[in-house]
Amino acid sequence: ATTPCKDPADKLFTVHGLWPSNWNGSHPENCTNKTMNSLAIGTLTAQLEIIWPNVLNRNDHVGFWNRQWNKHGTCGVPKINDSLQYFRTVIKMYITQKQNVSEILAKANIKPEGKNRTLVDILKAIRSGTNNKAPKLKCQRKASMTELVEVSLCSDHNITQFYCPPPH
């Protein structure tokens, strides 16, 4: 496919979420009633604000993270047992497990310069940076261009990456 996907010149990819998935691509939700420990994640706030900001409301990161924990993080058992471990896992995946999509794309010389990119080039770059795992891509039409707005890397309950199932 040669559908161009223009990257926005002013954006870097941030974390959208850590959603433990089933092999069929579905995402379990609200699995336990464990609450988020806001005090415990306080030491992680500076990192989380950079890699996982609330892009819709920059004044409510903690509320956003709380909703993410309740809806998705509680489904990470047995690998993730509490909110602190959930947020540490997000940071670890982003920084040490090389799931920083902006960095992966930059290594393939795909940078936010406002240039058109082919879907093939984007997929090739991401597969190269993720041990050949196929991502899910989401593009959004804006005026006369299509922008790449989301890259999903799929992982199971053990936080092991696998090929993202195709959309239904």
Residue the block writes with tokens 């959309």: 167
Identify whether the C-beta of residue 31 lies closer than 8 Å to the C-beta of residue 74: yes
Compute the CA torsion angle 135, 163, 121, 105 (nearest 10 deg). Answer: 50
97 a catalytic residue = no
CA distance 103 to 105: 5
- Catalytic member of 16, 85, 97, 161: 16
Residues 6+ apart with CB under 8 A from 61: 45, 48, 49, 53, 54
- Catalytic member of 27, 47, 61, 72: 72
- Catalytic member of 27, 47, 68, 97: 68
61 a catalytic residue = no
68 a catalytic residue = yes
Question: What is the sign, positive or negative, of the torsion defined by CA atoms of 66, 74, 39, 94?
Answer: negative
Identify whether the C-beta of residue 117 lies closer than 8 Å to the C-beta of residue 5: yes
* DSSP-assigned letter for residue 163: P
Q: Point out the residues that are catalytic.
A: 16, 68, 72
